[in-house]
Structure 1
Amino acid sequence: MARSPIWKSITATLTSEIAGGQYRAGDKLPTEAELSQRFGVNRHTLRRALAEMAGAGLVVARRGAGVFVQGSPTDYALGRRTRFHQNVLASGRTPSRQSLRLETRKADAREAEALTLALGAEVHVVEGLSLADGVPLALFRSVFPANRFPKLLFALEASNSVTAALAACGLKDYTRASTRLTAKTADALQALHLRLPEGAPLLRSVAVNVDTEGVAVEYGLTWFAGDRVTLTVQPE
């Protein structure tokens, strides 16, 4: 009886291991040399198997970095009450956030305009990573008027949740007034944080959130990893 090509057997084995959780979304597979030794094949045969898996959307090769397990994109709804934690939970994944920067400084011209502040007014700047199941989905920067929320940074250190921190500072509800989306490519630092190759596609969101009186309370920029997030917009 004719034997199936060995690359098909390798594909089936690695696919089964991914499905079984041995390799999760965002994990790096062993090197070509290690896999070739494991399966007793040359690199040409191994690359045929990896190419088949890439074509099926299971893995992605990143030049100079290796081959990584490709998770299915997380659905992320953009609406008047967009909340990261709720969005990721709704997709069946576990949300988390990693703080990169908490700082109070003077607003630049764009921030002051978005928040209707005097140029040079003090603002709180919060930067970090948003993750689902430990895989980075986005980099974010949120800017808040410091005069209105003087204790916001302390509240964020305690909760690591923007919504909870704002509630602790007296803002019980806020909604999105505007969102602007632009296609970008990852620079070296963004790529490092998001575990992407430099030049990978990103989708940048620029948004302004307001309180129930329509007063701006947050100016936010988010850089979503293009292959990990599906943004959905629904009329409200």
Structure 2
Amino acid sequence: MARTAIWTSISTALTNDIAEGRYGPGDKLPTEAALSARFGVNRHTVRRALAAMADNGLVHARRGAGVFVAQTPTDYPIGRRVRFHQNLSAAGRAPAKEILSLETRAADQREAESLEIPAGAAVHVYDGLSLADGQPIAIFRSVFPAERFPNILSDLDETKSVTAALARYGVADYTRASTRLTAKQANATQALHLRISEGAPILRSVGINIDTAGMPIEFGHTWFAGDRVTLTVNNS
């Protein structure tokens, strides 16, 4: 009779701990050293058990922080008004953003067409990471016409909020003119930022935001970690 592999038994025991509520969504599991002592095995065996649980979507590792129980996917509405902080707060999550890069460059053809500016006109580009309760859920890129919003990069650096930065230019409200959703696989860079495996499923959203006069003000891409966000479509 074949014996059950030790790492499989450890994975089953920890999975049962989660199922019985000993560790809830977002909770940190004991360290590898503590688990090694609990089960009387070496760290390599514990690591293999945790890797199997991660493959099943039960836990995820945060570099330098440990292994955490996976959270219930965050509901994220996609409609006429898409507001990151409001969406996350409404879902009971703590929103945060990290800036990856801020740059000014010439618009490519698609950016120019989407923003209705001349080909090669200057645009400001904001690349960042969106987090919920400290866990990365999406990478985003927002592109703005530089002529209309000359100093928006410094405003974004200060506020970390597109809505707040646009308000400084008199844009009191803006809405989504179009959204295109596509299923993709994470490339190496995306996987690194989102702390997922290369090739893991992600959802790409491409959208154009307009002001109250109907003028395009932002062309954006967002790449959501597929297992951390549930995109919901509404008309509000």
CA distance in structure 2 between the aligned counterparts of 1:138 and 1:73, rounded to whole angstroms: 12
Listed as ranges, the matches of 1:187-226 within 5 Å are 187-226=187-226
* One-letter amino acid matched to 1:128: G
1:154 Cα shift?
1.7
Partner deviation per Cα, 1:152-188 (whole Å, 9 max, x = no partner):
1121122111100000122111000000000111111
Is the CA contact 1:10–1:46 (under 8 Å) kept in the aligned structure 2?
Answer: no
Q: 1:184 to 1:218 in 2, by over 3 A?
A: same
1:58 Cα shift?
3.4
Is the CA contact 2:176–2:209 (under 8 Å) kept in the aligned structure 1?
Answer: yes
CA distance in structure 2 between the aligned counterparts of 1:168 and 1:150, rounded to whole angstroms: 11
List alignment gaps of at least 5 residues for structure 1: 1-5
Aligned to 1:100: 100
Structure 2 length-normalised TM: 0.82
Is the CA contact 2:35–2:46 (under 8 Å) kept in the aligned structure 1?
Answer: yes
Aligned to 1:88: 88
Aligned to 1:110: 110
* One-letter amino acid matched to 1:230: T
CA distance in structure 2 between the aligned counterparts of 1:151 and 1:47, rounded to whole angstroms: 48
Aligned to 2:24: 19
Is the CA contact 1:151–1:169 (under 8 Å) kept in the aligned structure 2?
Answer: no
CA-based RMSD? 3.1
Q: 1:9 to 1:147 in 2, by over 3 A?
A: closer
Q: 1:50 to 1:14 in 2, by over 3 A?
A: farther
Q: How many residues align?
A: 222
Is the CA contact 1:127–1:142 (under 8 Å) kept in the aligned structure 2?
Answer: yes
Query: What is the identity percentage for the equivalent residue pairs of Structure 1 and Structure 2?
Result: 61
Listed as ranges, the matches of 1:17-166 within 5 Å are 17-19=22-24, 22-23=27-28, 30-31=31-32, 35-40=35-40, 58-59=58-59, 68-166=68-166
Runs of 4+ in 1 over 3 A off after TM superposition: 6-17, 28-31, 45-58
Structure 1 length-normalised TM: 0.82
Aligned to 2:6: none
1:51 Cα shift?
9.5
